[in-house]
Amino acid sequence: MNEDRNQHQIIRKDAPNCFVESLNDAFEIGRIHLAFATYDLSRPIGQRQTNNIHIYIAVDEFLELCRKLEGGELRYLLKNKKTSGEKTPLYQCLGGTSAEKLAKYGRSRADGKSLSRTAQLLAGSKSDFLFVADSGPGETDQKGLIVPKFGSKPENHVAVSMTFETFSELLLTTRLHYSAWLGAWYANQYHPGSQRTAQAQENPQYQENQGEAEYASDPMF
């Protein structure tokens, strides 16, 4: 994994041949950045990554998930899913990068479609949760949302098995870091005698998601 990404890492949770990590490099655009990866240690160093998916969750949506976690609602929903055998996700995030933005970044897909990236929190069969990320072709609808068009065959797929405790550690540690960043941001803006730049006055944490990085082809290790 490259050195720059390690500098942004908040916390990482591993499962067999895969992991999910939380990064602090999207706070300023109002997003929580989760990176999912699978790897094969039998491959040469530098070629071990087999899947790599980056998910950006809006801060307010992420904080609501934390509320459900701490308040016991998520544990209650998980228990009901396991009892009933229902397979629908406990949480789902749909995102990605439009074909227009991919072209702007010089990363257009061969099929000309948008890149869809999805994350789902599912009740696990051998553990409490499966935290699953998928990516593949998508289409931008009339509302600007990117709808997945890969069905059950994503181009990239990562499923991280997690206990309730490890999932809690991932979310709550990330929230702690976001709160610290936000406090520092306010202190920098409103501390007596501080110089506020025009860029800072824009309050970038609430901007539209125009600055979302596109890491789909960057090797993580």
- Looking at 5-14, 63-72, 127-136, 200-209, which range is the least confident one? 200-209
CA dist 129 and 131 (Å) reads: 6
- pLDDT class for 142, splitting at 50, 70, 90? confident
Radius of gyration of the chain (CA): 18
Query: Is residue 95 within 8 Å of 55, Cβ to Cβ?
Result: yes
Longest dimension (CA), the chain: 59
Alpha helix ranges (H) inside the chain: 3-8, 59-71, 73-84, 99-105, 164-190, 198-201
What's the angle, vertex CA 65, arms to CA 156 and CA 213, rounded to 5?
45
81: tokens are 């899913």
- Taking only the tens place, the pLDDT of each residue in 49-107 is 999 999 999 999 999 999 999 999 999 999 999 999 999 999 999 999 999 999 999 99
SS3 140: strand
CA dist 45 and 42 (Å) reads: 9
143: left (phi over 0), alpha (psi -120 to 50) or beta: alpha
Q: What are phi and psi of 82, to 5 degrees?
A: -65, -40
pTM of the entire structure? 0.84
Q: Report, as an integer, the average pLDDT of 185-195.
A: 76
pLDDT score at 147: 92
CA dist 178 and 6 (Å) reads: 17
